[in-house]
Amino acid sequence: MQNQLVLTAAVEREDALRYTPAGLPVLEMWLRHQSRQREAGFERDVSCEVQALLIGEAARKFSGSLAGKMVTVSGFLSQRSLRNPRLVLHIEHVEFVKG
Amino acid sequence: MAEEYAVQVAVDVPLFGTFSYLTHLPLRAGQRVRVPFGPRRVCGFITNDIPTEGIETGRLKRVEELFDELPPLPATLLAMVRFAADYYHHPIGQTLFTALPGALRTDRAVRLEDERLWQLTGAGLAEEPPARQKARRALWQALQDGPLTNAAARGVSAQAGRILADWLQEGRAERVAPEALPLRVAPAPSLNDEQQRALEALSETRDDFAPYVLHGITGSGKTEVYLRLIERVLAAGRQVLLLVPEINLTPQLIERFTGRFPATRVVMLHSHLADGERLKGWVDAWQGRAGIVIGTRLAVFTPLPRLGLIVVDEEHDGSFKQQDGLRYHARDLAVWRARQERVPIVLGSATPSLETMANVAAGRYRRLTLSRRAHDAARLPTIRLVDTRRIKLVEGLAEPVIAALKARVARGEMSLVFINRRGFAPVVACTDCGWLSGCPRCSAKLVVHLAERKMRCHHCGWEEAVPPVCPDCGNVDLKPLGQGTQRLEAALARLLPEARLLRIDRDTTRHKAAWDEVYRKVHAGEVDVLVGTQMLAKGHDFGALSLVTVLNADGGLYSADYRAAERLFAQLMQVAGRAGRAEAPGEVLVQTQWPEHPLYQALLRHDFDGYAQTLLEERRMAGFPPAVYQALLRADAYEIATATAFLTALRAEAEPHADGVLVSGPAPALMVRLANRERAQLVFESGSRAALHALLERLVSLAERMAKAHGRALRWSLDVDPQEM
């Protein structure tokens, strides 16, 4: 099953680093994406806010350095929880881009 | 060869009755022997003075050895053991062995330190050792000043043992029994009028059974009343037995007694003593050398030839009831013993049990009340409820509670945060798929202990590492749910960064010296906020506590266990009582979602009597103890079906004999699974104790017989007057 999203966005804000009970670092952040895309043959403005999650060593590495930066991230989508169907992007790769 | 005859011997096996053995020794009841039992050699005790008649002696095995380094057990102890075995329907041998210190349960002789003192004889005094014999000379000189104990003599010279043995042989030294020191009493604080009246009332009866309830609010100075009463009993040459909950048996408590009576031997008895130490204390009590025995529930059996008074402090405490083996209640046995030995007994508490309150109401016990705090300036704390239904909690804490804590820290006053859950959080959950950290062996959840990254079952002791991902769906982001002491401590560290925190729960007080350190820190003013479990609700005096806050107490309001409300109320009264001792007026904040509940409303008014009456009325209407007498027959097996089948068959056999006894079940236990066993129970209730016990007598022999078909797969036990369902 395909589930892959690549997105270039500004990190609007990031939470303080937290840890799972097993001790893995977790970084939660909100991404603001703005671009122009084609739809039905027309150019249009696109904008969205995406909640994203970075777990593991990368979370510790990037913690505190992402807010306000432009990044290209890739990862998969999952719903927030059993009861909350809002989508969350689970980031696997982060790359800084000149914005 | 002397004539041989049969004697009855009690041994530590799960079989009812005693066993016949052959001997030619003139054995008496209470003597300790070694006998063969199956393939083993075991310790046993003779239970009869008169040789057993009419027994085919030819097939009996012989008593192998008599241990006579101690006198036979006293008849009073044997009588108490017989009563406990009958009342709790437990095998006599196992009952007796529960009552004894470990050293007397082995099939080996015990070694007791010779308590006598060394002194020089006339010949010894006359013969001064020459100066070159340094050790002999030093010892001789030390003995000029008076008799020495073994230990003191060894302190003078490491060779003292050998030298003194030589001198004993040569008639130069002898051993003398230490003289009992006259009672000395250190200066004591004065009593207020209530304490004085209670003391006088308690002193009215001597040499006769008289049950009293000393109902004194927290901080009212019950211990001082005990001390004064004990002084009078000691002055009359009698001994005192003081039972306390294990958690209250602190060095501070012992110091109060040894400090008050510096010339009296005070013996401490509890299950954490080394065998030798416990035996020594027990024998000292038995031989009349100790004036005071302070101990946990097991101390109720201590033989005391000159017993003059029994005190059960914090008589409502659950730890007086043993939860396995002989399921005895030390308070109840203490009352029986006081009646048997014709001495007064004092049951002390700020929150007497409903059983005790019912006995007061029925006129069986006389109640004495201490309604004021002993310290003139000390007042009862104000209690407020913080309704948490519509407000957002920060890490489990309501805003007004955080503000109150901040204010205390700023003023340099000490607060206490009470939450009855140790660990970090009561459960780990996967919010993606709904997985919860269940115990693989119990119907309970594993509690997170974050510092060790472990999950532990607080019921069976199972422990495993916190899984890195959800075992069901693979989600990494597992969440600890709910609050435990560790999490609260971490949260308070963030919310009150300037406060010095001290966490007190079973995990932080495992080490022997832990309480000493707690007291040192608290009294040195090195703590701003104490965070802890029910351990803090017990009789500790933390001095000037200005604020007590209670979190997550609601669980006890609607529990399936009918005793939950009684326990919660007592616990909250006790924990609230930690506030406002000494000079600082206190405040108590209770976070709850049920502020209208009668329990909390009674708590607001400090109305113990009113709420106790409400609960007693509820119990009467529902037909629960103390309105009826109750017993529980529990069975457990790998599968509940086995336990239920056994109980169903047992009930069918027993019910025709259940005259005036209500039988219910089998029903699954409140916690069905425990340590890989599934549990069910039958409940027996009756308004007549005699009717209940007549049935239990039959029930136990039925159960013993019927359980055989199931072999080891099935276990069963009877709990008379159960404290937990």
Q: How confident is the model at residue B250 (pLDDT cuts 50, 70, 90)?
A: confident
Give me the mean pLDDT over the B80-89 stretch.
Answer: 97
Q: B468 and A53: CB-CB below 8 Å?
A: no
For residue B478, the chain A residues in CB contact (below 8 A) are 20-22
pLDDT value at residue B582: 58
**What does the domain layout of chain B look like in residue ranges?**
5-105, 117-176, 193-370, 382-425+482-608, 629-720
Q: How confident is the model at residue B386 (pLDDT cuts 50, 70, 90)?
A: very high
Look at residues B334, B319, B113, B344 and name the one whose alpha carbon lies nearest to residue B214. B344
Q: How confident is the model at residue B565 (pLDDT cuts 50, 70, 90)?
A: very high
Q: A22 and B448: CB-CB below 8 Å?
A: no
- SS3 sequence of B168-179: HHHCCEEEECCC
Q: B467 and A22: CB-CB below 8 Å?
A: yes
Distance from CA of B488 to the nearest CA of A (A): 15
Name the residue of chain A whose CA is nearest to B431's CA. Answer: A81
For residue B467, the chain A residues in CB contact (below 8 A) are 22
Give me the mean pLDDT over the B606-620 stretch.
Answer: 95
Distance from CA of A53 to the nearest CA of B (A): 10
Asked if the C-beta of A41 comes within 8 angstroms of chain B's C-beta atoms, the answer is no
Return d(Cα B84, Cα B65) in angstroms, integer: 28
Name the residue of chain A whose CA is nearest to B453's CA. Answer: A22
Percent of chain B predicted with pLDDT > 90: 70
Distance from CA of A90 to the nearest CA of B (A): 11
Return d(Cα B509, Cα B538) in angstroms, integer: 14
For residue B124, the SS3 value is helix
In order of B319, B348, B478, B622, the CA distances from B616 in angstroms are 22, 19, 45, 10
Look at residues A56, A53, A62 and name the one whose alpha carbon lies nearest to residue A90. A53
Give me the mean pLDDT over the A79-97 stretch.
Answer: 94
**What does the domain layout of chain A look like in residue ranges?**
5-96
Q: How confident is the model at residue B59 (pLDDT cuts 50, 70, 90)?
A: confident
pLDDT value at residue B506: 87
B550 DSSP β-pair partners: B418, B590
* From A5-19, B314-328, B535-549, the region with the lowest mean pLDDT: B535-549
Q: Is the pLDDT of residue B674 over 70?
A: yes
Return d(Cα B563, Cα B722) in angstroms, integer: 10
Query: What residues have CB less than 8 Å from A20, skipping those under 6 apart?
Result: A26, A55, B468, B476, B477, B478, B479
Q: Which one of B428, B431, B448 has the shortest CB-CB distance to A81?
A: B431
For residue B450, the chain A residues in CB contact (below 8 A) are 21
| Backbone angles phi and psi of B587, in degrees to 5 | -135, 145
Q: Is the pLDDT of residue B539 over 70?
A: no
**Mean residue pLDDT across chain B:** 91
- Asked if residues B329 and B721 have their Cβ atoms less than 8 Å apart, the reply is yes
Return d(Cα B430, Cα B434) in angstroms, integer: 5
- Between CA B304 and CA B312, with CA B308 as vertex, the angle to 5 degrees is 85
pLDDT tens for each residue of B633-666: 999 999 999 999 999 999 999 999 888 999 998 9
Distance from CA of B433 to the nearest CA of A (A): 6
Return d(Cα B591, Cα B606) in angstroms, integer: 17
Q: B450 and A82: CB-CB below 8 Å?
A: no
Number of Cβ within 10 Å of residue B250's Cβ equals: 17
Q: Is the pLDDT of residue B336 over 60?
A: yes
CATH number of B382-425+482-608: 3.40.50.300
Name the residue of chain B whose CA is nearest to A24's CA. Answer: B468
Asked if the C-beta of A77 comes within 8 angstroms of chain B's C-beta atoms, the answer is no
Return d(Cα B368, Cα B195) in angstroms, integer: 9
Q: B453 and A22: CB-CB below 8 Å?
A: yes
- Asked if residues B110 and B282 have their Cβ atoms less than 8 Å apart, the reply is no
B309 DSSP β-pair partners: B240
Distance from CA of B445 to the nearest CA of A (A): 15
Query: What residues have CB less than 8 Å from B613, skipping those under 6 apart?
Result: none
For residue B477, the chain A residues in CB contact (below 8 A) are 20, 26, 53, 55
Give me the mean pLDDT over the B99-123 stretch.
Answer: 88
Interface test with B, best of A78, A81, A86, A90 (most B CBs within 10 A): A81
In order of A36, A42, A46, B328, the CA distances from A39 in angstroms are 10, 5, 10, 81
Comparing B31 with B246, which gets the higher pLDDT?
B31
- SS3 sequence of B394-417: ECCECHHHHHHHHHHHHHCCEEEE
Interface test with B, best of A15, A19, A20 (most B CBs within 10 A): A20
- Asked if residues B33 and B9 have their Cβ atoms less than 8 Å apart, the reply is yes
Cβ neighbourhood burial of B118 (10 Å; 0-12, 13-18, 19+): buried
For residue A75, the chain B residues in CB contact (below 8 A) are none
Q: Estimate the crossing angle of helix B514-523 against helix B251-260, to 10 degrees.
A: 80
Asked if the C-beta of A87 comes within 8 angstroms of chain B's C-beta atoms, the answer is no
Q: Which one of B428, B448, B468 has the shortest CB-CB distance to A24?
A: B468
For domain B193-370, which architecture applies?
3-Layer(aba) Sandwich (3.40)
Asked if the C-beta of A22 comes within 8 angstroms of chain B's C-beta atoms, the answer is yes
Return d(Cα B633, Cα B433) in angstroms, integer: 40
Q: Is the pLDDT of residue B197 over 80?
A: yes
pLDDT value at residue B581: 59
pLDDT value at residue B377: 63
pLDDT value at residue B360: 97
pLDDT value at residue B158: 86
Annotated binding site of B: 430, 433, 439, 442, 457, 460, 470, 473
**Is beta strand B5-11 parallel, antiparallel or unpaired with respect to B19-23?**
antiparallel
Look up the ipTM and state it.
0.88
Number of Cβ within 10 Å of residue B209's Cβ equals: 16
Name the residue of chain B whose CA is nearest to A80's CA. Answer: B432
pLDDT value at residue B181: 78
pLDDT value at residue B596: 95
- Asked if residues B300 and B334 have their Cβ atoms less than 8 Å apart, the reply is yes
Interface test with A, best of B477, B486, B487 (most A CBs within 10 A): B477
Look at residues B211, B202, B200 and name the one whose alpha carbon lies nearest to residue B342. B211
B35 DSSP β-pair partners: B42
Q: How confident is the model at residue B485 (pLDDT cuts 50, 70, 90)?
A: very high
pLDDT value at residue B206: 86
Return d(Cα B551, Cα B533) in angstroms, integer: 10
Comparing B49 with B67, which gets the higher pLDDT?
B67
Give me the mean pLDDT over the B224-236 stretch.
Answer: 96
Q: From the options 3.40.640.10, 3.40.50.410, 1.10.3720.10, 3.40.1440.60, give the CATH code of B5-105.
A: 3.40.1440.60
Q: B448 and A21: CB-CB below 8 Å?
A: yes
For residue A79, the chain B residues in CB contact (below 8 A) are 432
> Which CATH superfamily, name and number, covers A5-96?
Nucleic acid-binding proteins (2.40.50.140)
- Asked if residues B668 and B640 have their Cβ atoms less than 8 Å apart, the reply is yes
Q: A21 and B424: CB-CB below 8 Å?
A: yes
Q: From the options 3.30.413.10, 3.30.70.360, 2.170.190.11, 1.10.540.10, give the CATH code of B629-720.
A: 3.30.70.360
Give me the mean pLDDT over the B153-159 stretch.
Answer: 86
pLDDT value at residue B51: 74
Name the residue of chain A whose CA is nearest to B467's CA. Answer: A22
Q: How confident is the model at residue B584 (pLDDT cuts 50, 70, 90)?
A: low
For residue B636, the SS3 value is strand
| Backbone angles phi and psi of B174, in degrees to 5 | -145, 165
Percent of chain B predicted with pLDDT > 70: 98
pTM over 0.80: yes
For residue B476, the chain A residues in CB contact (below 8 A) are 20, 24, 26, 55-56
Annotated binding site of B for Zn(2+): 430, 433, 439, 442, 457, 460, 470, 473
Name the residue of chain B whose CA is nearest to A56's CA. Answer: B476
Asked if the C-beta of A3 comes within 8 angstroms of chain B's C-beta atoms, the answer is no
- SS3 sequence of B615-644: HHHHHHHHCCCCCCEEEEEEEEECCHHHHH
Q: Which one of B428, B431, B434 has the shortest CB-CB distance to A21?
A: B428
Give me the mean pLDDT over the B229-239 stretch.
Answer: 96
Q: How confident is the model at residue B536 (pLDDT cuts 50, 70, 90)?
A: confident
* From B297-311, B323-337, B524-538, B609-623, the region with the lowest mean pLDDT: B524-538
Distance from CA of A78 to the nearest CA of B (A): 9
- Identify each DSSP E strand in chain A by its residue range: 5-14, 18-19, 25-39, 42-55, 70-79, 87-96
**Start-to-end Cα distance in chain B:** 57
Give me the mean pLDDT over the A1-23 stretch.
Answer: 95
- Asked if residues B280 and B296 have their Cβ atoms less than 8 Å apart, the reply is no
> Residue with structure tokens 């039905």?
A40
For residue B466, the chain A residues in CB contact (below 8 A) are 21-23
Q: Which one of B432, B433, B480 has the shortest CB-CB distance to A21?
A: B480
- Asked if residues B679 and B692 have their Cβ atoms less than 8 Å apart, the reply is no
pLDDT tens for each residue of B269-324: 999 899 999 999 999 999 999 999 999 999 999 999 999 999 999 999 999 999 99
Q: B466 and A26: CB-CB below 8 Å?
A: no
pLDDT value at residue B519: 84
- Same CATH fold assignment for domains B193-370 and B382-425+482-608: yes
- Between CA B100 and CA B105, with CA B104 as vertex, the angle to 5 degrees is 80
Distance from CA of B671 to the nearest CA of A (A): 26
Q: Which of B439-443, B509-513, B536-540 has the highest mean pLDDT?
A: B439-443
Q: Is the pLDDT of residue B2 over 80?
A: no
B interface with A, Cβ–Cβ < 8 A, is 424-425, 428, 431-434, 448, 450, 453, 465-469, 476-480
Q: How confident is the model at residue B683 (pLDDT cuts 50, 70, 90)?
A: very high
pLDDT value at residue B597: 95
Q: B450 and A78: CB-CB below 8 Å?
A: no
Give me the amino acid identity at B113: E
- SS3 sequence of B572-583: HHHHHCCCCCCC
Q: Which one of A21, A24, A55 has the shortest CB-CB distance to B450?
A: A21
